[in-house]
Amino acid sequence: MHLSIQFSAATVKQLAAAWQRALARGDRRPLARITALQMLGQRQPVPEVAAFVGVAESTLYGWISAFLLRGVASVAYRTSPGRPAKLTATQKAHLVELLDAGPAAAGFAYSAWAAPLVQTLIEQQFGVCYNVHYVSHLLAQLGFSYQKARFVADHLDAATRATWLTTSWPGVVAAARTRGALLLFGDEASFAQWGSLGYTWARRGQQPVVKTTGRRKGYKVWGLVDWFSGRLFWAGHEGRFTAKSYCAFLEQVLAQTTAPLLVVQDGARYHTAKETQTWVAAHAERVAVVQLPSYSPDYNPIEHVWRAVKDATHNAYFATFAELTARVTQHLERLQSNAAQVIQLLGTPLDAFAARAPAA
């Protein structure tokens, strides 16, 4: 059966306004009805409309009849009398399992949970229709928070990473304490003169604008941070990172200290180059290196130090390279003089295996 409905301009505006009100309330039921009516007004077949909004054709015909009798008012749902339905403790536990498994496992063609999708999941699985705003509150109660995902390499060796945490890392800590060594996590960072963008509060509808020179020049920095004390070593560097400049930086750290150095580093080429290995061997009396598992920047707490400095350079305009280096230097020197703040930044999975003060 072919069904054709034509709306006046006034009715189209009323339906659009009703859509916005329902969206603001997080009420999904009227959204489905309004969507169906709009699709029918565009002469789409009843079976396709019913399939799209997920209802039986008989339900759709009921919506049409109600609309013909009461107009736009028919899309609103009355509040049910009595206490609203809620999930039981058992259902909540099952919901947690479903959320942990991800949207794809629940049959959705998505990879991220958003409150409206969780609202749909709850209705499908348990027959309970929560307001979408309450869904966010419920998720918080269940121990979830709205987070931005992060990338990890698809070829991580989970077994090697686990072994490093449970076996290698405790051994590294013990070795550093036995030798009275500084336990230094090393890495390097680059700060771009053309700028970097970050989140900031701004007036709604007025997106912040940041000027940029467009000059593709970066200020590179070598860094080492002592896990025990929070002591920070760093050196600015122009040009490419190389094994020669890495060894020169280590020479500077040796000159500033008297204790042995136990350096934990990743597998970057300049860390493992023959020139670096030769230098380490020549200074074996005071320097030893430990390699992190491959593709494991999350095991290197100096990343948190870099992030703190980059927060100070986001949304900033650097007309000259000197302005960029001055800003980076200012914040690195501030951290260098505040070991307690650095220690606060070093929060990683390694916390489970080490105290930050050397054993007496």
> Which residues is 233 bridged to in the sheet?
224
Residues 283 and 337 in one domain: yes
Q: What is the pLDDT at residue 81? A: 53
146 is a domain residue: no
Q: Give the per-residue pLDDT at 273.
A: 95
224 and 308 fall within a common domain: yes
Q: Are residue 218 and residue 284 in the same domain, yes or no?
A: yes
Report the Cα 9 to chain-centroid distance in Å.
44
Query: Distances from the Cα of 22 to the Cαs of 18, 55, 128, 133, 182, in angstroms?
Result: 6, 19, 18, 12, 60
pLDDT for the residue numbered 359: 45
Instruction: Please indicate, yes or no, whether residues 111 and 43 belong to a single structural domain of this protein.
Output: no
Answer yes or no: do 163 and 296 share one domain: yes
Q: Based on the fold, state whether residues 175 and 294 are members of the same structural domain.
A: yes
Residue 114 counted as domain residue:
yes
Shared-domain flag, residues 223 and 316: yes
Q: Is 60 helix (H, G, I), strand (E, B) or coil?
A: helix
pLDDT at 360: 36
| Residue 4: inside a domain | no
Contacts 24+ apart (CB under 8 A), 146-153: 149/112, 152/295, 152/298, 153/295
Residue 74's Cα: distance from chain center in Å? Answer: 42
Q: What is the CB-side half-sphere exposure of residue 57 using CA atoms within 13 A?
A: 7
189 and 323 together in one domain? yes
Between the alpha carbon of residue 321 and those of residues 192, 213, 217, 245, the distances in Å are 9, 10, 8, 20
In a domain? residue 219: yes
Cα–chain center distance at 24: 26
Task: With respect to residue 172, please indicate whether it lies within any of the assigned structural domains.
Answer: yes
> How many domains does the chain divide into?
3
Q: How far apart, in Å, are the Cα atoms of 329 and each of 204, 237, 312, 334, 338?
A: 34, 12, 11, 8, 14
Residues 117 and 164 in one domain: no
* The pair of three-digit structure tokens given for residue 257, joined into one six-digit string: 């200290």
In a domain, 3, yes or no: no
For residue 269, tell me if it sits in a domain.
yes
Q: How do the pLDDT tens digits run along the chain, 360 residues long? A: 566 678 888 888 888 888 777 766 666 678 778 888 888 888 888 888 888 777 788 888 888 888 888 888 888 766 555 555 689 999 999 999 999 999 889 888 888 898 888 988 998 899 888 887 889 899 999 999 888 777 766 677 888 888 988 889 999 999 999 999 999 999 999 998 988 888 888 888 888 888 888 888 889 999 999 999 999 999 998 888 999 999 999 999 999 999 999 999 999 999 999 999 999 999 999 999 999 998 888 899 999 999 999 988 888 999 999 999 999 999 999 999 999 899 988 876 555 455 454 443
pLDDT at position 326 is 94
For residue 273, what is the domain's CATH number? Answer: 3.30.420.10
In the 8-state DSSP scheme, what is residue 125?
Answer: H
Around Cβ 173, how many Cβ atoms within 10 Å?
Answer: 20
Q: Tokens standing for 64?
A: 């049409």
Is 305:232 a contact under the CB 8 Å cutoff?
yes
Could you tell me if 231 and 322 lie in one domain? yes
Are 29 and 178 in the same domain? no
* Tokens encoding 349: 């999975």
The total of other beta-carbon atoms located within 10 Å of residue 185's CB is 24
**Beta carbons within 8 Å of 212's beta carbon, 6+ residues apart:** 194, 195, 317
Q: What are the CA-CA distances from residue 145 to residues 142, 178, 201, 284 (Å)?
A: 9, 41, 20, 47
- Would you say 335 and 305 are in contact if contact means Cβ atoms under 8 Å apart? yes
> What residues make up the domain containing 110?
89-141
What type of residue sits at position 100? D
Q: Same structural domain for residues 232 and 172? A: yes
Q: Is residue 60 included in any domain, yes or no?
A: yes
